[in-house]
Amino acid sequence: MTLHALTIHEAAARLQSGEITATELTQSVLDRIFTLDNAIKAYLALTPELALEQAARADRARSDARRAGAEAALSPLLGIPLAIKDVITVEGVPCTAGSRILEGYIPPYDSTVSARLARAGAVLLGKTNTDEFAMGSSTENSAYFTTRNPWDLSRVPGGSSGGSAAAVAADMCLAALGSDTGGSVRQPASLCGVVGLKPTYGRVSRYGLIAYASSLDQIGPFAKDVTDAALLLSAIAGHDPLDSTSVDVPAPHYAAALAQTGAGSRPLAGLRVGVPREYFVAGIEPDVEQAVRAAIAKLVDLGAEAREISLPHTELALPVYYLIAPAEASANLARFDGIRYGLSVDAASLWDTYRQTRGQGFGAEVKRRVMLGAYALSAGYYDAYYLKAQQVRTLIKADFDAALRDVDVIACPTSPVTAFKIGERAADPLSMYLADIFTLSLNLAGICGLSVPCGFDRQGLPVGLQLIAGAFEEERLLSAAYAYEQATDWHTRKPDLELTLED
């Protein structure tokens, strides 16, 4: 098997046995990127020299540890080549957030997640494409270019973390980080046929994540399988004094917990799975519904008990999200003023510098959200819009709290549709907003969710099953998804990219 196609845990085993080196592994993934990324366009920036230097350092660390008999203490991420969404800072590596306004910005500090990955000895391949400031569901809002779905290059990879999802699906990294404010890890994971996890709010530090909507943003892993998602989550999770919203609860060793998932034919015996009535409604593609219902039947085969539940305020999630997220964005994006970061347009007065830098530096979707948000927060409208949205947010959270008293996890589609054509929704913001209809309510409630591949539509495009659990119950998600994955082979399917290579 070619090295770039390995999962993290497969590569870690080969690195440990001495069969391969981190340098060979990294070179294989870089070669893959050099052949494919002209067609897929997952990366905004590559860091090949840094990657090879980190790989060489990982190889040295491993041989030192071997000599000292200390190999058991090495991180499973030592020497593993990864990608990071370009809304997360890495010291000294350009960071654009997919926006012209940050063109040329080189962050002087590491995000906590990238510092933790570096400490574990992981290798950074580059920064992946994103909708501008993570606003979107297709990467079409990137100011630079649109990423293509490896399963069909005429289609979107989903978004906003579409670059990370496409890079994982096309074996242009072993795994990647994204950020999820309303679905931006889970939805592209679903559209690209990989695993994506949005941790509980506060599980992972947001320090060094360029803020979109601070009460909703979380960083999460993209991976080729559930075990890898667990490994990556363990590496980045946990309290951080630099982020006052990160919560001080111990981060379990998620991958080790998977090994304890019951074996035999009924590993999910006793698991109560809720199926929300409101998530199987008009607008969902029949092939998606069929694949997700079959996946739920599989969970039942594996011992789980499925029951219908209700999340009565579901239809209010979209309007609530599109008041709260833009309101927070309008405040967060005020810092891009042409003085402190990136682009600065020289103008006659300070006001003109602000105006022209923001006018030229932000794209249409960002401007739309800043205006919506500033309006919802303005005197006279605050009570009617923002405050009301916060009140309804509480009701949405209460729906999940009530449902999760009776069931352990909730199962539903990640996205109502499979990957859509580039351009199909770009001109219609509302139809784009609907792409996250099944994911954004979790961010409003602050709980965790995961998307795992569960089949294909009749055009051969991947479908994802979303599993949802309560706050800090990532272990439940991972072990249910792991049992499902063990019993199915969807996650082993790969897009046929030979044609692309021949073009």
Which one among 12, 134, 296, 442 touches ligand GLN, defined by CB under 6 A? 134
Question: What gap in Å lies between CA 264 and CA 430, rounded to an integer?
Answer: 46
* Run of H or E including 84: strand 81-85
Question: Taking the CA atoms of the chain, what radius of gyration do you get in angstroms?
Answer: 22
> Residue holding tokens 């949205």?
389
Judged by CB under 6 A, the stretch of 17-25, 150-158, 178-186, 444-452 that binds ligand GLN is 178-186
Yes or no: say if 223 and 168 are a contact pair by the CB < 8 Å rule: yes
Q: How far is the CB of 307 from ligand GLN (least distance, A)?
A: 29
Query: What is the DSSP code string of 446-462?
Result: T-EEEEEEEEE-TTS-E
Judged by CB under 6 A, the stretch of 181-189, 235-243, 371-379, 475-483 that binds ligand GLN is 181-189
Q: How far is the CB of 163 from ligand GLN (least distance, A)?
A: 13
Which one among 135, 226, 448, 467 touches ligand GLN, defined by CB under 6 A? 135
Judged by CB under 6 A, the stretch of 176-184, 408-416, 456-464, 475-483 that binds ligand GLN is 176-184
| For ligand GLN, the closer CB: 182 or 342 | 182
Yes or no: say if 264 and 270 are a contact pair by the CB < 8 Å rule: no
3-state SS track over 150-207: CCECCECCCCCCHHHHHHHHCCCCCEEEEEECCCCCHHHHHHHCCEEEECCCCCECCC
Q: How far is the CB of 219 from ligand GLN (least distance, A)?
A: 11
| Near ligand GLN in 211-240, by CB under 6 A | 212
> Is the preceding omega at residue 179 within 30 degrees of 0, hence cis?
no
Which entry of 28, 41, 85, 330 is annotated as an active-site residue? 85
| Near ligand GLN in 386-415, by CB under 6 A | none
Which entry of 160, 161, 164, 451 is annotated as an active-site residue? 160
| For ligand GLN, the closer CB: 220 or 342 | 220
Active site residue 184: yes
Question: What gap in Å lies between CA 168 and CA 164, rounded to an integer?
Answer: 6
Closest by CA to 147, choosing from 173, 125, 129, is 129
CA distances to 214, 233, 280, 368 from 322, in Å? 14, 28, 22, 11
Active site residue 160: yes
Tell which phi-psi region holds residue 98, choosing left (phi > 0), alpha (psi between -120 and 50) or beta.
left
Which entry of 184, 234, 330, 479 is annotated as an active-site residue? 184
Which one among 184, 200, 218, 488 touches ligand GLN, defined by CB under 6 A? 184
Judged by CB under 6 A, the stretch of 22-30, 62-70, 182-190, 356-364 that binds ligand GLN is 182-190
Q: Does residue 193 belong to the site contacting ligand GLN (CB under 6 A)?
A: no
Q: How far is the CB of 498 from ligand GLN (least distance, A)?
A: 32
Active site residue 494: no
Q: Does residue 146 belong to the site contacting ligand GLN (CB under 6 A)?
A: no
Judged by CB under 6 A, the stretch of 132-140, 200-208, 278-286, 466-474 that binds ligand GLN is 132-140
Q: For residue 372, how far is the Cα from the chain centroid? A: 25
Question: What gap in Å lies between CA 360 and CA 366, rounded to an integer?
Answer: 12
Q: How far is the CB of 439 from ligand GLN (least distance, A)?
A: 8
Closest by CA to 258, choosing from 490, 486, 23, 475, is 475
Q: How far is the CB of 433 from ligand GLN (least distance, A)?
A: 7
| Near ligand GLN in 299-358, by CB under 6 A | 325
| For ligand GLN, the closer CB: 21 or 146 | 146
Which of 382-411 are b and which e, b meaning 16 or more Cβ less than 10 Å from the residue's Cβ? eeebbeebeebbeebbebbeebbeebbbbb
| Residue 208 three-state SS | coil
Q: How far is the CB of 370 from ligand GLN (least distance, A)?
A: 13
Catalytic residues: 85, 160, 184
Q: Which chain residues interact with ligand GLN by CB under 6 A?
A: 134-137, 160, 180-184, 212, 325, 436
